[in-house]
Amino acid sequence: MINILVVEDDKHVRRLLEAVLKREGYDVVTAEDGVKALEVLDSQHIDLIILDIMMPNMDGYEFAKEVRDADSLVPILMATAKQLPEDKKKGFRIGTDDYMTKPIDTEEMLLRIQALLRRSQIASARKLVVGKVILDYDALTVTREDEKQTLPQKEFYLLYKLLSYPERIFTRIQLMDEIWGMESESTDTTVNVHINRLRKRFDSYPEFELVSVRGLGYKAVRSQ
């Protein structure tokens, strides 16, 4: 079961988010400010945090900083009435993973949560072995026998994602969402460019192939 912590001082918003998330099958814990939210983190495992900014006692910025200073990588989705670019930039600099403005579109929120959880699950695996090929998530390296390549971050994440789900087709939009994030200004042609680079890097590797699926997107085919 996925545990989501909702940190929100408005009780009506808090109850709404709790009801929506529970309906989707998530376990939900709530806190009305950052201080109480830190107490929750000390007492139980949390898979994702939905965080307001303007709260008493400890605001969202300070709470997010505390979480990241403790070396926690739990995904944080900031949901706030603050809409200025400076507010978003401050949130991302502190360590939030995604950002929504109020009033919250609950359908969009659920999609963002799914994307964040997928990225988090990929990150937690850390290593992937495909025949003689080893992908090291922390080092961004692909090793095959005596050959080791260190990839640019986005190239590595893209390859890791596709090889983690062999034969599964991903659209360009899905890959943009998961690898580059919804806030990215890049277009889906960016995925094409990165796929072509990966094909050139690993065209001699018999363990896998990155295949275009006409009109849909891409998939990885593993031979081992």
Q: pLDDT at residue 182 above 70?
A: no
| % pLDDT > 70, the chain | 94
Q: pLDDT at residue 217 above 80?
A: yes
pLDDT digits (tens, 9 = 90+) for 56-101: 999 999 999 999 988 888 999 998 887 777 888 888 888 899 999 8
pTM of the entire structure?
0.58
How large is the angle between the packed helices 34-43 and 60-69, nearest 10 degrees? 30
Spell out the residues 6+ positions from residue 185 whose beta carbon is closer than 8 angstroms to its own.
Answer: none
Residue 196: exposed, middle, or buried by beta-carbon count in 10 A (0-12, 13-18, 19+)? exposed
Q: What is the pLDDT of residue 180?
A: 80
Residue 43 tokens, joined: 């007492």
Q: What is the pLDDT of residue 86?
A: 83
Residue 118 tokens, joined: 């997928």
Q: pLDDT at residue 183 above 60?
A: no
Q: pLDDT at residue 188 above 80?
A: no
Q: What is the pLDDT of residue 107?
A: 93
pLDDT digits (tens, 9 = 90+) for 104-115: 999 999 999 988
User: What is the C-alpha separation between 174 and 190, in angstroms, rounded?
Assistant: 12
Q: What is the pLDDT of residue 125?
A: 64
Q: How far is CA 214 from the centre of its chain?
A: 27
Higher local confidence (pLDDT), 4 or 42: 4
Question: How confident is residue 122, by pLDDT bands cut at 50, 70 and 90?
Answer: low
How is the chain classified by DSSP, letter by letter? --EEEEE-S-HHHHHHHHHHHHHTT-EEEEESSHHHHHHHHHHS--SEEEE-SS-SSS-HHHHHHHHHHTT----EEEEES--SHHHHHHHHHHT-SEEEESSP-HHHHHHHHHHHHHHHHHHHH-EEEETTEEEETTTTEEEETTEEEEPPHHHHHHHHHHHHSTT--EEHHHHIIIII-TT----THHHHHHHHHHHHHTTT-TTEEEEEETTTEEEEEE--
